[in-house]
Amino acid sequence: MALPQRFPLVGLPERVTIYEVGPRDGLQNEPTTVSTAVKAEFITRLADAGLSVVETTSFVRPDRVPQLADAVELVALLERRPAVRYPVLVPNERGLDRAIHAGVEEIAVFASATEAFSKRNLGRGVEEAMAMFAPVVKRARAADVGVRGYLSMCFGDPWEGAVAVEQVVDVGRRLLAMGCGQLSLGDTIGVATPGHVTAVLAAFAEAGIGPDRLAVHFHDTYGQALASTLTALRAGVTTVDASAGGLGGCPFAESATGNLATEDLVWFLNGLGIEHGVDLGRLVETSVWMAGHLGRPSPSRVVAALA
């Protein structure tokens, strides 16, 4: 397999954690129904490829996201690896109850920086959403369940347009103060550019929130995901969300196309000499395998080049 030559850049982290979201964020909007057994094998293959975090599913109402209606069955079917984390998304206390009963050890809540998307995605505005998440986070932490906070529409909203940086920081601070251990900043519609990423991260730093508490979640709608990732790495962020094969998009935001492909991110990190622990060959094989089940080729450029 061809590999990029390594030319490290000064000022970048030595190691990055890839937060794999393919089984959840990647599959949630796929029109082709994927069986529970195939999902379980997908997760196992990703773990065996070296990914240390694999977000598995979401405990949402089945009618809202039919593709993930088998969350309980999937979690029970998983072949867990000792060094791998298997977080799930929960929307509310009912979802938390189901997740804890299923034996989940780590959850995430999904908030929005904008009113419009919060109402479309959660059926309630930002204030109501914060009130809904507070007991979820409190109860999870009391049960020794780790909590991550997702914040969507950090760089633009298809209904509201530009999103003020101060607005993003305000909602993000509240999620962290609530008890979320990490905040993932989402470019849900893929409009972020390096300067914008710099401004958002600088505003969080000014608010006393350093890169050690932040992750980034870029979509590649306009081909800017890796440029934005490099900017985040320069600012000290060491957790990057990605989806195997470039799968994904939000079912409640029509312009949210695929996530940053994990293979593209791994190739990029390899060239920079940044450690991540992932076997690119096995990862490509996994994405080709999943593409076969979905009946279409992977949108990842690296998968296309190496497969």
Q: Where are the domains of the chain?
A: 17-306
Mean pLDDT across the chain: 95
Q: What is the mean pLDDT of residues 244-268?
A: 77
Model pTM? 0.96
The burial class, CB within 10 Å (0-12 / 13-18 / 19+), for 220 is buried
Q: Provide the pLDDT for residue 93.
A: 97
Residue 251 clears pLDDT 80, i.e. is over it: no
Active site residue 250: yes
Q: Provide the pLDDT for residue 257.
A: 61
When mean pLDDT is compared across 45-54, 60-69, 170-179, 222-231, the lowest value belongs to: 60-69
Q: Provide the pLDDT for residue 258.
A: 82
Q: Provide the pLDDT for residue 73.
A: 97
Q: What is the mean pLDDT of residues 23-29?
A: 92
Give Cβ neighbours of residue 52 (< 8 Å, ≥ 6 apart). 17, 18, 83, 84, 85, 277
Residue 252 clears pLDDT 80, i.e. is over it: no
Q: What is the mean pLDDT of residues 302-306?
A: 95
Tell me the pLDDT band of 62, cut-offs 50, 70 and 90.
confident
Q: If we measure between CA atoms, which residue out of 79, 76, 66, 67 comes closest to residue 34?
A: 67
pLDDT digits (tens, 9 = 90+) for 87-133: 999 999 999 999 999 999 999 999 999 999 999 889 899 999 999 99
Tell me the pLDDT band of 204, cut-offs 50, 70 and 90.
very high
262 vs 245: CA distance, rounded Å: 6
Q: Provide the pLDDT for residue 255.
A: 43
145 vs 98: CA distance, rounded Å: 13
Q: Provide the pLDDT for residue 249.
A: 56
Q: Enter the DSSP assignment of 6.
A: P
Question: E strands of the chain, at which residues?
Answer: 17-20, 53-54, 57-58, 88-89, 106-112, 146-152, 182-187, 214-218, 239-242
Angle in degrees, 0-180, between the axes of helices 225-234 and 262-272, rounded to the nearest 10: 50
Q: Provide the pLDDT for residue 248.
A: 80
3-class DSSP state for residue 69? coil
- Residues 176-205: b if buried by 16+ CB within 10 A, e if exposed: bebbbebbbbbbbbbbbeeebbeebbebbe
Tell me the pLDDT band of 256, cut-offs 50, 70 and 90.
very low
Residue 20 clears pLDDT 80, i.e. is over it: yes
Give the CA distances from residue 144 to residues 4, 76, 130, 298, 304, in Å, rounded to whole numbers and listed in that order: 41, 20, 21, 37, 42
Q: Provide the pLDDT for residue 253.
A: 42
Report which residue type is found at 80.
R
Q: Do the strands 88-89 and 57-58 form a parallel or antiparallel pair, or are they unpaired?
A: parallel
Per the CB < 8 A criterion, the answer to whether 238 and 211 are in contact is yes
Per the CB < 8 A criterion, the answer to whether 243 and 21 are in contact is yes
pLDDT digits (tens, 9 = 90+) for 172-200: 999 999 999 999 999 999 999 999 999 99
pLDDT digits (tens, 9 = 90+) for 131-157: 999 999 999 999 999 999 999 999 999
Give CATH for domain 17-306. 3.20.20.70
Per the CB < 8 A criterion, the answer to whether 88 and 24 are in contact is yes
Q: How many CB atoms lie within 10 A of CB 35?
A: 11
Residue 159 clears pLDDT 50, i.e. is over it: yes
When mean pLDDT is compared across 92-106, 203-217, 244-258, 259-273, the lowest value belongs to: 244-258
More confident residue, 134 or 62: 134
Q: What is the mean pLDDT of residues 233-243?
A: 98
163, 250, 253, 280: the active-site residue: 250
Per the CB < 8 A criterion, the answer to whether 247 and 29 are in contact is no
